[in-house]
Structure 1
Amino acid sequence: MSKETLLLLPGLLCDEAVWPDQVSGLAHRAQSVIPDYGMLDSISAMASHVLQTAPTEVFNLAGHSMGGRVALEVVRQAPQRVRRLALLDTGYEPFAGGEAGEQEKSKRYALLERARNSGMREMGKLWAPGMVHPSQLQTPLFEAILDMIERRTPAQFEAQIKALLARPDAEPVLRGINCPTWLICGHDDAWSPYARHEVMSQMVPAQWSRIEGIKDCGHMSTMEKPTEVTALLNAWLDTPVR
């Protein structure tokens, strides 16, 4: 039996280090591809890049964090190419206006300034503790996250901040989905709460939607609970398509 294509989209400042257990754990059935956004500075451009570089016309698509937003934009641009969709620890809302939006913008650019002045790793030490379950702090996994952040540059950080601050509203995409769509989230995700995924799951047409929570897990679910996430994605790949 030929393998299916599986595109695994990383989030903000993330790379292939987010997905190694899923790549190896699903290798018997899927050819996994992990795109790199380079210096792209919009969600739309990132999605277009994913579509242009995908090795097959039709593929399964999983996105983590910002990668989930990119995945939803891929569905917006080319829904016929996506066989199955998995959204992990992500969101759908557009950039907020008013005071809430200004606060988000200020916090993101304060982190960028720290990255420029002190380096990416030092910025990560301030930013990344909220990424994981408290039990993962001061562990090799947390150091691996800092290593990943350090592989990026302030210029790439700025480009991805611009993308997130101009993020589109993905609610219409969720409501129009026509393929099996699983929402997977750590129950202790402080950045992209499980409750938000419940709302997203209800937006997806009921025949396609499924939600799965992972206990004792923060935002970095693919790294924190790799066995559980890989098992869920394996079951997701078994889901019949239209």
Structure 2
Amino acid sequence: MTTLVLVPGLLCDGFVWSEQQRALSAQMQVWVADHGALDSLTNMASAILRDAPAERFALAGHSMGGRVALEVFRLAPHRVQRLALLDTGWRPRQPGAKGEEERTSRLALLETAFQHGMRVMGRQWASGMVHPNRLDTPIFEAIVAMIERKTPEIFAAQIHALLTRPDATAQLRALQCPVLVLCGRQDAWSCLSQHVEMAELIRRSHLRIIEECGHMSTLEQPAAVTAALTEWLGDME
């Protein structure tokens, strides 16, 4: 039986993959990773390799989870049958002023979390994560509730993982398995042009654009994302 490993992003848990897990579990074994308080992408990837319920698996990562998935491939390429990268990136933090701007922005959110709580920070942060039409809708509130389930300490650990992220260009160029690159057209966090570049670096990639969708594609347009994943999984035995 096929095993599908799903990797959540920053401050996300299994809820972010809930619709995909529900839809695909009838056809295959689906397992969702949990990063806990790990503070590096390498440690997150190592935990997946240790805990995944099969030796070889299809691997899909969303947002930070896409970066973790690329690190899984770096550590153990023989275990990854195919890869899906959703609303994510591969570059390290930029040097100089741009990189410092990112650090300052992330640490400001962390300070808000410590001072005012995860819910206040989550509403502020998530407002830039979804399509504008989904602000203050039930799905937006569910995303905020998911963020609130995490602690500031977990947020700090995951921010550290992102600020120290490696350059994954070599992994993209080394990929030879089927790869899905997926992005919401209105993703303001990990923009579409970035995904076009990513797809161009990968030998066997298919780019799928999800319409009327921001960064949280698995929740904003669950049916379209599930359809794309189903097509990507295709003829796996």
TM-score over 0.5 (shorter chain): yes
Residue type at the aligned position of 2:212: D
> In 1, distance between residues paired with 2:226 and 2:128?
23
Tell me how far apart the structure 2 counterparts of residues 178 and 29 of structure 1 sit (CA, whole Å): 25
Counterpart of 2:198, as a letter, is M
| Distance (whole Å) between structure 2 residues aligned to residue 14 and residue 199 of structure 1 | 26
Offset at residue 24 of structure 1 (A): 1.1
Equivalent residue for 2:109? 111
Q: Which amino acid aligns with 2:71?
A: E
**1:223 paired to 2:219:** yes
User: TM-score with structure 1 length normalisation?
Assistant: 0.96
Q: Structure 1 stretches of 5 or more lacking a match?
A: none
Match of 2:127, SS state, is helix
| Structure 1 residues 25-80: Cα deviation after superposition (integer angstroms, max 9, x where no partner) | 11121211111111100001000001000111000000000000000000000000
Q: Residue 183 of structure 1: CA displacement?
A: 0.3
Distance in 2 of aligned mates of 1:114 and 1:24: 34
Distance (whole Å) between structure 2 residues aligned to residue 152 and residue 233 of structure 1: 27
Alignment partner for residue 162 of structure 1, among 160, 163, 167?
A: 160
Among 33, 54, 60, which residue is 1:62 paired with? 60
In the alignment, what sits opposite 1:121? 119
Structure 2: how far apart are the matches of 1:30 and 1:20?
Answer: 15
Aligned equivalent of 2:49: 51
What amino acid does structure 1 have at the position aligned with 2:15? A
| In structure 2, C-alpha distance between the alignment counterparts of 1:180 and 1:128, rounded to whole Å | 31
| Matched letter for residue 23 of structure 1 | Q
SS of alignment partner, residue 92 of structure 2: coil
Q: Judge which range, 118-127 or 23-32, deviates more.
A: 23-32
Question: Does 2:190 align with 1:182?
Answer: no
Tell me which residue corresponds to 2:169. 171
User: How far apart, in 2, do the equivalents of 1:169 and 1:239 lie?
Assistant: 31
Instruction: Report how many residues are paired.
Output: 237
Letter of the structure 1 residue corresponding to residue 206 of structure 2? R
Q: Tell me what 1:80 maps to.
A: 78
CA offsets 1:95-132 (integer angstroms, 9 cap, x no match):
11100011100010010000000000000111111100
Contact 2:41–2:161, Cα closer than 8 Å, also in 1: yes
Structure 1 residue identity aligned to 2:224: E
Query: Structure 1 residues 231-240 or 136-145, which shifts more?
Result: 231-240
- 5 Å-filtered alignment, 1:86-101, equals 86-101=84-99
Give the superposition deviation at 1:239.
Answer: 4.9
Gaps of 5+ in 2: none
Q: Is the 8 A contact 1:180 1:239 kept in 2?
A: no
Contact (CA 8 Å) 2:2, 2:236: kept in 1 or not?
A: no
Equivalent position to 1:212, from 208, 211, 222: 208
Measured after TM superposition, the shift of residue 179 of structure 1 is 0.5
Alignment map for 1:130-141 (pairs within 5 Å): 130-141=128-139
Does the aligned pair in 2 maintain the 1:136–1:142 contact within 8 Å? yes
- In structure 1, the residue corresponding to 2:128 is in which secondary structure? helix
Identity %: 54
Partner amino acid, structure 1, of 2:34? D
Provide the residue aligned with 2:190 in structure 1: 192
Deviating runs (4+, > 3 A) in structure 1?
none
